[in-house]
A and B are shown apart, each in its own frame.
Chain A
Amino acid sequence: MAGISGVNGNIAISGAIGGIIKSWTANFTRASTDITGFGNATRNRAIGIIDLTGSMTGSLDASTSPTVAFTGNTAAAAITLTAEGGNTLVFNAIIDAITVGVAVDGEATFSANFGIASTATAFTSAVTVTWT
């Protein structure tokens, strides 16, 4: 067992991202419905659909337009989130927002948000988790 530092992290999506990325996040959530009834001693909840959204941040790329991933991927595309070699999450996603920022004192930032877009009938089919 060993900790992962992120030094060898990476993110890739079919087609170009349009930025040079230095960090990513993935946020797993699942809906839950309160079905507490009379007689229950505690809250009772029913499990719901899993959602997976995330973000990436970095700098603008001089050679690739920042809008390319936003307008180029009109259908769900496979995105690969790498923590390090052998530890990856792969799923189909759409990029639903990008933010571009430039400051005269040096920063030229790029960030994008993505969300899972899958017709799979099982989580294991929708998200391929490789963790060795």
Chain B
Amino acid sequence: MSQVILTTIYNKLVAVTTAGTVYDLVGGKIYQLEGPQGTVMPLLVYAISNEDTTTFMSSATQSMHTLDCAFTFYFKPDSSVVTAMAAEAALFLLLHKASMTPSDVSYSTIESICTSRGVPTINVDSIVIDTTYRIFATKQS
């Protein structure tokens, strides 16, 4: 797993901030692993949940990283489920079958596909949607 991949995902999430984008619908509150204490919802937290590295025989150093990246939306319980699902849909539009520009040239390609869009659930004091994407990154150096 590489910081380049995480940075690339973050760059993709914050690249467009216009109305209706993921960034806009969570008010720009996008965090890795966990949000700061006291952060007001809505917010989006993402974390790598699984990682696999494949190495190839070659004169050059080549490898492919396969990651599962879990995104979790948190919305206030008094907000509309439709609003939460709109944010999830915006993420799907952004990352499903997406190609990203790696933040470092040591990576050739970074692509993603949705493996689970998840369903909204009430989690005591918030509306939560868990959704998972698989990230593929090829590295050659």
Contacts and interface: CB of A to CB of B under 8 A. Distances in A.
A21 B58 CA distance: 7
Interface size class of B (residues with CB under 8 A): 10 to 19
Interface in A57-86: 58-59
Contacts, number: 31
A22 B54 contact: yes
A17 to B, nearest CB: 10
A21 B54 CA distance: 11
Contact of B64 (A9, A10, A23, A59): A59
A106 B56 contact: no
B55 interface: yes
A20 B56 contact: yes
B66 interface: yes
Nearest to B115: A105
A105 B62 CA distance: 20
B62 A104 contact: no
Interface residues of A, number: 13
A58 B56 CA distance: 7
Contact of B57 (A11, A104, A105, A106): A11
Nearest to A82: B57
A81 to B, nearest CB: 10
B55 A106 contact: no
Given A20-B57, A22-B56, 19 more contacts: A9-B57, A10-B58, A10-B59, A11-B57, A20-B56, A21-B56, A21-B57, A22-B54, A22-B57, A23-B57, A58-B57, A59-B56, A104-B113, A105-B113, A105-B134, A106-B66, A106-B113, A106-B134, A106-B136
Interface of B: 54-59, 62, 64, 66, 113, 115, 134, 136
Interface of A: 9-11, 20-24, 58-59, 104-106
